[in-house]
């Protein structure tokens, strides 16, 4: 097994049976701080998880309270990882997807949030990582315009602001709606969305839980164009793993997901408390105070998208292989990436999520 080096990054930069009542000791009712590590699971499973050693989770972008970040911070703080004998170290990512995927493929990082489309792209480029869960087929990427834009074809020949890379799902939506995409003047912009109401750009890419909330808070009314409303595939809250680690330590993979999903359920009802955990991790490290109110808004917006788009009876985190196929087709059409049907199936492992549910009910704790 490759050595896993804990990497500190600067922030700018088998179905299983449901657990019976007898399987849960009275320790399950105690606060996690009062429980002994591993008190909720069998000694054998505890030893298997300990054998995995240090597990490094690298966030997508700092400690922003996004789905796939907030619940991992909460699982650590609430003691859920420790309950399952998992030694999880949390590290902040810089927002650079390529950096995260390369560190994971090299064995320096074990888990990291990576969209399904980026998992496909990374593997097509020889960077081998594996997708193990996803919360929604509706992604975060959106296009914003002022309300005077009633039809996307009005963007022909206009200036579009993007953050350094055009989101493929937004591009596909625009082309599907008849935009002469080659006529659109793309310009790289920063993270201040006020450039849209100021008229510096006619349209602006962003994330549904970020810029639209900022503009609304500033009293600016904008129109948000979501690719999912135009049957364009995407993903939200996807998680990837070092495939070598997953082969060697499958119970640890299952139980990292189990603890995070248990925390997700908790954070749905306790958003402000969970955001305090990400605020503690951030500690003002980006040079400005952590905005807890804004981050509660980010979490609640994303959790609502997940709730609205989740198919009834489907366990949270389930990988929709039809969506993976649609994403591969989109990437093959709109990018230089070429992904075969065999490759797209091999790059995702639905069994880890399947093994931690009884129907659509998360099995907590582990058997």
Q: pLDDT by residue (tens digit) across 50-62?
A: 999 999 999 999 9
pLDDT digits (tens, 9 = 90+) for 67-114: 999 999 999 999 999 999 999 999 999 999 999 999 999 999 999 999
Rounded to 10 degrees, the C-alpha dihedral 341/346/348/354 comes to 110
pLDDT digits (tens, 9 = 90+) for 27-39: 454 456 567 777 8
Q: Is residue 302 part of a domain?
A: yes
Q: Is residue 152 part of a domain?
A: yes
Number of residues in the chain: 367
Q: Is residue 203 part of a domain?
A: yes
**Is there a single domain that holds both residue 191 and residue 46?**
no
**Is there a single domain that holds both residue 98 and residue 130?**
yes
CATH classification of the domain holding 303 = 3.40.190.10
Q: How far apart are CA 84 and CA 136, in angstroms?
A: 26
**Is there a single domain that holds both residue 197 and residue 317?**
no
pLDDT digits (tens, 9 = 90+) for 346-366: 999 999 999 999 999 999 999
User: Do 266 and 70 meet the contact criterion of CB atoms below 8 Å apart?
Assistant: no
Residues 6+ apart with CB under 8 A from 110: 4, 55, 56, 57, 104, 241, 242, 245
Q: Is residue 263 part of a domain?
A: yes
User: Do 71 and 277 meet the contact criterion of CB atoms below 8 Å apart?
Assistant: no
**Is there a single domain that holds both residue 124 and residue 86?**
yes
Of 213, 230, 247, which closes a domain?
230
Q: What's the total number of domains in the chain? A: 2
pLDDT of residue 32: 64
* 74 closest CA partner among 353, 299, 327, 363: 299
Of 230, 265, 292, which closes a domain?
230
Q: How far apart are CA 233 and CA 182, in angstroms?
A: 22
User: Do 166 and 217 meet the contact criterion of CB atoms below 8 Å apart?
Assistant: no
**Is there a single domain that holds both residue 60 and residue 120?**
yes
**Is there a single domain that holds both residue 79 and residue 146?**
no
Between 70-77 and 250-269, two packed helices, what is the crossing angle to 10 degrees? Answer: 100
**Is there a single domain that holds both residue 58 and residue 76?**
yes
Q: Is residue 165 part of a domain?
A: yes
**Is there a single domain that holds both residue 266 and residue 308?**
yes
Between 116-124 and 321-334, two packed helices, what is the crossing angle to 10 degrees? Answer: 60
Q: pLDDT > 70: what percent of the chain?
A: 91
**Is there a single domain that holds both residue 219 and residue 153?**
yes
Q: How far apart are CA 316 and CA 329, in angstroms?
A: 24
Structural domain including 116 reads 21-137+235-362
Q: Is the pLDDT of residue 24 over 50?
A: no
Of 211, 230, 249, which closes a domain?
230
Q: Is the pLDDT of residue 3 over 50?
A: no
The model's pTM is: 0.89
**Is there a single domain that holds both residue 80 and residue 192?**
no
**Is there a single domain that holds both residue 126 and residue 265?**
yes
**Is there a single domain that holds both residue 216 and residue 150?**
yes
CA atoms within 13 A on the CB side of 211: 26
């Amino acid at each position: 097994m490759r050595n896993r080096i804990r990497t500190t990054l600067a922030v700018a930069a088998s179905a299983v049976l449901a657990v019976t009542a007898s399987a849960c000791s009275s320790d399950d009712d105690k606060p996690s701080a009062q429980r002994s590590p591993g008190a909720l699971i069998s000694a054998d499973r505890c030893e298997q998880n300990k054998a995995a050693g240090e597990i490094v989770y690298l966030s997508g972008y700092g400690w922003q309270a996004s789905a796939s970040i907030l619940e991992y911070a909460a699982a650590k703080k609430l003691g859920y990882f420790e309950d399952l004998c998992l030694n999880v170290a949390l590290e902040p990512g810089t927002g650079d997807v390529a950096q995260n995927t390369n560190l994971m493929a090299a064995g320096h990082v074990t888990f990291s949030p990576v969209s399904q489309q980026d998992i496909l792209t990374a593997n097509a480029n020889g960077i081998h990582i594996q997708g193990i869960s996803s919360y929604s087929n509706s992604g975060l990427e959106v296009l914003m315009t002022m309300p005077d834009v009633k039809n996307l074809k009005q963007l022909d020949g206009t200036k579009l602001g993007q953050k350094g890379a055009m989101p493929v799902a937004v591009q596909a939506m625009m082309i599907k709606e008849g935009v002469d995409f080659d006529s659109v003047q793309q310009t790289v912009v920063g993270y201040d969305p006020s450039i849209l109401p100021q008229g510096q750009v006619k349209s602006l890419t962003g994330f549904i839980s970020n810029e639209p909330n900022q503009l609304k808070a500033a009293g600016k009314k904008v129109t948000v164009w979501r690719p999912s409303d135009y049957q364009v595939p995407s993903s939200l809250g996807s998680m990837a793993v070092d495939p070598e680690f997953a082969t060697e330590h499958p119970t640890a993979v299952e139980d990292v997901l189990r603890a995070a999903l248990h925390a997700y359920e908790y954070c749905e009802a306790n958003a402000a408390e969970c955001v305090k955990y990400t605020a503690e991790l951030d500690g003002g490290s980006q040079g400005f105070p952590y905005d807890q109110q804004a981050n509660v808004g980010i979490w609640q917006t994303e959790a609502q998208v997940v709730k609205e788009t989740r198919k009834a009876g489907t366990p949270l985190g389930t990988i929709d292989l039809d969506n993976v196929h649609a994403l591969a087709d989109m990437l093959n059409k709109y990018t230089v990436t070429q992904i075969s049907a065999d490759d797209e199936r091999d790059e995702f492992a639905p069994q880890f999520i399947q093994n931690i549910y009884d129907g659509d009910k998360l099995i907590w704790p582990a058997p």
